[in-house]
Amino acid sequence: MAGMPGLQDWRERKIRDWLLLLLRFAVTQEVADRSMVLAAADELDSLGGRWRSGAPSFFQRTSRELCDAILAADNPRSPAVLKQHLARIDDVRLRCSFAAAVGLSGEEVSPSAPAYGHGRRDQDLWKGLASR
pLDDT of 60 > 70? The answer is yes
Compute the distance between CA of residue 120 and CA of residue 84 in angstroms, rounded to an integer.
19
Domains of the chain, by residue range, sit at 8-106
The torsion angle over the Cα atoms of residues 64, 66, 71 and 75, rounded to 10 degrees, is 110
Query: For residues 88 and 84, what is the distance between their CA atoms, to the nearest angstrom?
Result: 7
- Residue pLDDT, tens place only, 107-128: 555 555 455 554 544 455 445 5
Say how far apart CA 108 and CA 104 lie, in whole Å: 6
How far is C-alpha 59 from the chain's CA centre?
9
- Assessment of whether the complete model's pTM goes beyond 0.85: no
